[in-house]
Chain A
Amino acid sequence: MTDFKINHREGDGVSVIELKGYLDAHTAPQLENAFQTLLNSEKYNILVNCRDLSYISSAGLGVFMAYIEDVRKNHGDIKLTNLSARVYNVFDLLGFPLLYEIFKEEREAIGRFKVRPRS
């Protein structure tokens, strides 16, 4: 019933993950896998583009919490861009904007990663 897709691309030393559709308890493991794959290949600059993300549940938010600590320990970060008003509202209710940097556009976000791996 729930449709969820993840697209992954690399650019400028930043791994961009594009989310599409419903992120809930059923689809959360897919995002977990995507994060785990990046961490395994030591990619810690992660930008999550939520342009086509239509819904996120608390289980979906949990995925971000599960990886942020490891990512930051390695001087990387998870940044979010292009949130729809509805998705932003869910993040905001829980206070996520205090924990994650959220940007309007990818362009703004890419410049804000601290460590730029030599590419």
Chain B
Amino acid sequence: MSGLRKLAFVLFPTFFFIVVFFLDVVRGAVTVLDDGMDYVRGSFILLAFVMLFFYFRSSRRGRTENVVREIGKLLVATLFVLFVVLLGTMAPSVTFVERDFALVPANPLTILMANVASIAMGILAILLLLTIRGLILHKRKKGIRRNFLIYLVLMLASAAVALPVLIVEVGFIGSILFGLAILMTIVNSFKQNWIVYLSRREKIYGIIYSLALALLLIVLLAVVTNRGFPGKAISYFSDPLERFVVLNMIFGAVYFGMAFLSTLFHLPTADVFERKQSELSSLHSLSRLVTQVLDFSDLVRTVTQMTREVCGARSSWLELVKKPSKEQAIEFDVVATNNITTQDIDTILSVPESQIRSLILESRKVLLIDSVSEDRRTKHFKGRKLEIGSLLSIPLMSQQTLIGILHATSEEAYGFDRDDIDVMTTFADQVRIAIENAKLIAQSLERERYHQEILLAQQMQKKLLPQKLPTHPAFEVSAISEPSHEVGGDPYDFVELGDERIGVVIGDVSGKGISAAFYMAEMKGIFQALSKSAVTPRDFVLQANEALTDSLDRKTFVSLLYAVFDLKNSTATIARAGHCPVIHVRGAGHTFIRPGGLGLGLTKDDLFNRSTEELSISLLPGDACIFYTDGVTEVRSPSGEEFGVERLVKSIMDRKGAGAETIRERVWDNIRRFAGDENFEDDLTLVVVKWHGEAEMSDISRSARALSGDIRREIE
């Protein structure tokens, strides 16, 4: 309600009351009863109280926080009203005379006193009703709300019956409604939920206030229902108001009488309730902790601290199961202690005669030793100054495995009760979740770190592939390498050998991923080192096998193909170590160049040397040599079909007249299309060499340079 509206809701009733007062004074003077006037008067009073009701209601929205203070305020208001009412009783010459069954005030002072007393009682009744409503609806439930509404309806109906507009005699209906309303006050008076939430101190004040309020209301009721001045005054002022006031005062007296008794009975359990509340808040803060504490040592320290708070323990500690080693006895690691030394913990748990851990390991249930001095299981405590009366040990279970134990001690025997165990069990569950979360977070951080390292490895590995392709007017090259994993991949490389010779190598390490990436790095070194000293390609392969075999593990081997292009003599000399053959394209035909040779790392003995061959081919302008790894021919379509050599050859022949770049692109597009959405299962590498020869050198040189520029850009 806005400020202006509030003001109006006070000013209008005040104005109405003043009008009623003057009306009464005038009527008293002339002693003429006019029925029309009665209606106007009655409407003014009704309207004034309705507005006052809304005024008071608007000033108490929501749940009352300090219930006891509300009752205290009500007590003060009641005292004040009682004072006003009694003032009228004691004032001299304030009296009514009865004339024709109607009450007539003796003088204007009587009218004033009667009006003031009636208005005060009416306001008190409104306040009572609103306060009780707040208390009853403290915890809202459908039934509670309904019962209160029934009372409201009955009470208002009972008051309405007395309105002067009703001409017919309805006295007996009024009595029935009145009776039912009183019945409902009793029903409603059982709703005293708010008491439970009071602290002990509040409860004591609550008892005093409720009792005083109930008694004062009874006094007021007695005064009002008596045929003394107050009773006559309100009866004279307004009959419906009298009903309203009487009913609500009865309600107040009954409700606060009940409140007094309930609070009195709740008093012995106030301590328990307060403890429950602190337990609840501890549990709550732990749950919050679960999501907040990432640091493991912080977490376990907080857990032991909270254990002491939750069950009022003297000391507490947490131990976790070490990573279970095979078949061996489970070992524990004390990760946090609170108010106890590790020596004492050892005395309690680690001495040979202590069975506490093994008992928990067997039963996987809570272990409670009520009296350490009397219990058989803790007889080893005797003679040691431990200051422990009782011991509570809670297993932390993750699914079916024990991950740790939370211990708490009390200096008193029988220091833990049923509630402590219940709360601690719940608490232990939270602790378990918190610990597992902390471990998971640590793991995911670790994983993230590994991922970063892999990314780094990936970048480094990309640098192992040639950053710059050789450029020569007679010799055009295009290459691509695609690893199936983040790292790894089939290596290829080029080397300028001098004397217008260019070496091309392509290889494949068995296996994929990190290990393959390491061998790839090793091969890069071997190639760069040996290619220049080796006299022939075969020589290179033999030396590479010698160098690699010892560093490869038994099930790993490397296939490799090495070709030396002689630009002066237009030849290519090729040695092969178990690798896919070279496809040599000339005109409309193609041949597989496949000199004999074992994979590197398969064997070191003479067999390797004997089986390694070397082949030389002469090259004509327009020829192309295609190097590839088995990943290319083994690419699978979504239906499981292999790309195969035939498709590879066909893709090459489609573009046989074009440059190296175009051929490479054509093959790559076909592979991509063939694989569809499937990922490559193996690393793929493809190197295309286009031979332009010396004849067309001058013509080609420009385009070759342009092309190699393009390739460089692509690589970058």
Contact = CB atoms under 8 A, between A and B. Distances in A.
Interface residues of A, number: 18
Interface string A51-86: 000000111011101100100000000000000000
Interface stretch (A8-16, A36-44, A94-102, A103-111): A94-102
B599 A59 contact: no
Contact of A94 (B554, B598, B607, B634): B598
Contact of A93 (B554, B555, B559, B607): B559
Interface in A6-46: 24-25
A66 B554 contact: yes
Contacts of B597: 95
Given A65-B557, A66-B555, A93-B559, A59 B602 contact: no
Nearest to A63: B555
Given A62-B555, A99-B603, A93 B579 contact: yes
Contacts of B554: 65-66, 69
Contact of B607 (A66, A90, A98): A98
B580 interface: yes
B649 to A, nearest CB: 15
Contacts of A61: 510, 557
Contacts of A94: 557, 559, 578, 598-599, 602
B72 interface: no
A77 to B, nearest CB: 15
B510 A93 contact: no
Interface in B393-436: none
B511 interface: yes
A79 B327 CA distance: 40
Contacts of A98: 598, 607, 611
A94 B599 CA distance: 5
Contacts of B602: 65, 94-96, 99
A111 to B, nearest CB: 24
A59 B511 contact: yes
A59 B598 contact: no
A95 B578 contact: yes
Contacts of B512: 25
Interface residues of B, number: 24
Contacts of A69: 554
Given A58-B510, A61-B510, A65-B555, A95 B682 contact: no
Given A62-B557, A63-B555, A65-B554, A95 B598 contact: yes
A69 B246 CA distance: 109
Nearest to A68: B554
B312 interface: no
A58 B557 contact: yes
Contact of A95 (B511, B555, B580, B596): B596
B354 interface: no
Nearest to B603: A99
Interface string B589-616: 0000000111100110001000100000
B556 interface: yes
Nearest to A26: B681
Given A25-B512, A98-B611, A93 B557 contact: no
B605 to A, nearest CB: 10
B524 to A, nearest CB: 19
A56 to B, nearest CB: 11
A57 B509 CA distance: 12
Contacts of B279: none
Contacts of A59: 510-511, 555
Contact of A58 (B508, B607, B611): B508
B599 A62 contact: no
Contacts of B578: 93-95
A95 B607 CA distance: 11
Nearest to A66: B555
A109 B559 CA distance: 28
Contacts of A99: 598, 602-603, 607
B16 to A, nearest CB: 89
Contacts of A63: 555
B559 A57 contact: no
A62 B511 contact: yes
Contacts of A24: 681
A94 B611 CA distance: 11
A62 B607 contact: no
A101 to B, nearest CB: 14
A39 to B, nearest CB: 13
B626 to A, nearest CB: 16
Interface centre among A24, A58, A63, by most B CB within 10 Å? A58
Contacts of A90: 630
A65 to B, nearest CB: 5
B676 to A, nearest CB: 15
A61 B103 CA distance: 120
B502 to A, nearest CB: 25
B580 A57 contact: no
Nearest to A86: B642
B576 to A, nearest CB: 9
Nearest to B601: A65
27 contacts: A24-B681, A25-B512, A57-B634, A58-B511, A58-B557, A58-B630, A59-B510, A59-B555, A61-B510, A61-B557, A62-B555, A62-B556, A62-B557, A63-B555, A65-B555, A65-B557, A66-B554, A66-B555, A69-B554, A95-B578, A95-B596, A95-B599, A96-B602, A98-B598, A98-B611, A99-B603, A99-B607
Interface of B: 508, 510-512, 554-557, 559, 578-580, 596-599, 602-603, 607, 611, 630, 634, 681-682
Given A24-B681, A95-B611, 18 more contacts: A58-B508, A59-B511, A59-B555, A61-B510, A62-B555, A65-B554, A65-B557, A66-B554, A90-B630, A93-B630, A94-B559, A94-B578, A94-B598, A94-B602, A95-B602, A98-B598, A98-B611, A99-B603
